[in-house]
Amino acid sequence: MKTLVVRPGALGDTILTLPLLHTIGAQDPSGALVFLGARAYLPLVPPHVQARPVDDASSLWLFTDPPHGHPRSEFAFDIAYVILHSPGVVAHNLIQSGVKKVKIVQPQERMDEHLVRSLHRLAGLPVPQPEPMLRFLAPKDRLAAVWLHPGSGGPKKCAPLSTFVSISRVLSRDYKLPCVITATDQDSFLVAQSEWRMLLEEPGNRLVMNRPIVELCRELGGAALFIGNDSGIAHMAANLGIKSLLFFCATDPQVWAPWVPSDQMRVVDCRQGLPDAEALRSILSDVLGGSSA
């Protein structure tokens, strides 16, 4: 069987779609599976899946009504799963191009179940057990440092930068663990804060800025721990198999947490308030096994 999955989306959306690709591949190991997604995140798609950019001139026909210049011979799929909030035009164009069956997988605006469960239920597929999907990108060598990502593309979803400064100090003084801090241009609101310099000046800490995602995987995928907010980077780190401590300040972790085993991830739901300094120290002790230096 020849299967197509159309999923334009951000980093976190793409990673939360990987379990669906895994399920489809497991059910039809000899079939051909093609994924249409954002070009920037295609390196995260497993090698057995044919990954193609949806944000490319050759894919524009999918989103136009009527479609122009669709490659009919290339889209003779047996089934296509379309994961979009407004899938109508894309679904219609796929049928016109020769796809035999189109399955619309349209997540609800407000969900009361995890997105991975929702995608599988809507697709009519069995829900897989949580497991890291990006281990194939993780390095073999371990890194004696903590990966700290204090941003999330905007302040709404972020714990205060002062929280990360406090965490960094505890890690440095109690556990002798330096931090590798990652950020992108979308996190410029952090750089303007006085705590940013304090975080960077903590002994042993270093900054990795605007690094391509595959380079981040190769360089930091062996970190002792990841600490950050609900973000695409957090999903990537957890799916590399890194033990993770995640702050959810605006979104529901029951819906949006990484799809990994619960013993690999500690979620702190901050929607009703942040933990105080003593609670944070206790959380770090639990996550790190209480092995302070």
Pairing between β-strand 50-53 and β-strand 179-183 as defined by DSSP bridges: unpaired
Mean pLDDT value of segment 99-107: 93
What was the pLDDT predicted at 99? 94
DSSP secondary structure string, 195-246? HHHHHHHSTT-EEEES--HHHHHHHHTTEEEEEEESSHHHHHHHHTT--EEE
232-255: per-residue pLDDT in tens? 999 999 999 999 999 999 999 999
Question: Using CA atoms, how far apart are residues 215 and 180, in angstroms rounded to an integer?
Answer: 14
What was the pLDDT predicted at 180? 99
What was the pLDDT predicted at 71? 60
What was the pLDDT predicted at 293? 52
Residues 84/106, Cβ–Cβ less than 8 Å: yes
Comparing 68 with 86, the larger pLDDT belongs to 86
Pairing between β-strand 143-149 and β-strand 223-229 as defined by DSSP bridges: parallel
What was the pLDDT predicted at 65? 81
Lowest mean pLDDT among 50-54, 73-77, 172-176, 275-279: 73-77
Confidence of residue 66 (pLDDT cuts 50, 70, 90): confident
**Residues ≥6 apart with Cβ < 8 Å to 261:** 130, 131
Mean model confidence pLDDT for the chain: 94
Confidence of residue 140 (pLDDT cuts 50, 70, 90): very high
Confidence of residue 10 (pLDDT cuts 50, 70, 90): very high
Rg of the chain, C-alpha, whole Å: 20
Whether residue 73 is predicted with pLDDT greater than 70 in this model: the reply is no
Confidence of residue 76 (pLDDT cuts 50, 70, 90): confident
Closest to 24 measured CA to CA, from 7, 39, 9: 7
Mean pLDDT value of segment 58-75: 75
- Across the beta sheet with 206-209, what order do the strands follow? 206-209, 179-183, 143-149, 223-229, 244-248, 265-269
Residues 1/79, Cβ–Cβ less than 8 Å: yes
Q: What percent of the chain has pLDDT over 70?
A: 96
Whether residue 290 is predicted with pLDDT greater than 70 in this model: the reply is no
Whether residue 217 is predicted with pLDDT greater than 90 in this model: the reply is yes
What was the pLDDT predicted at 292? 57
What was the pLDDT predicted at 108? 77
**Residue type at 25 in one-letter notation:** G
Range 135-287: architecture per CATH: 3-Layer(aba) Sandwich (3.40)
What are 280's strand-pairing partners? none
- Residue whose entry in the numeric block shows the structure tokens 């349209």: 106
Helix axes 161-175, 194-201, angle to 10 degrees: 20
What was the pLDDT predicted at 152? 93
167-204: per-residue pLDDT in tens? 999 999 999 999 999 998 889 899 989 999 999 999 99
Helix axes 232-239, 213-220, angle to 10 degrees: 40
Ramachandran area for residue 289 (φ above 0: left; ψ -120 to 50: alpha; else beta): left
Fold of 2-123: Rossmann fold (3.40.50)
Q: For the chain, what are the domain ranges?
A: 2-123, 135-287
Q: What is the pTM of this model?
A: 0.94
Same fold, 2-123 and 135-287: yes
Comparing 153 with 59, the larger pLDDT belongs to 59
DSSP helix/strand/coil, 273: coil
What was the pLDDT predicted at 69? 63
What was the pLDDT predicted at 8? 94
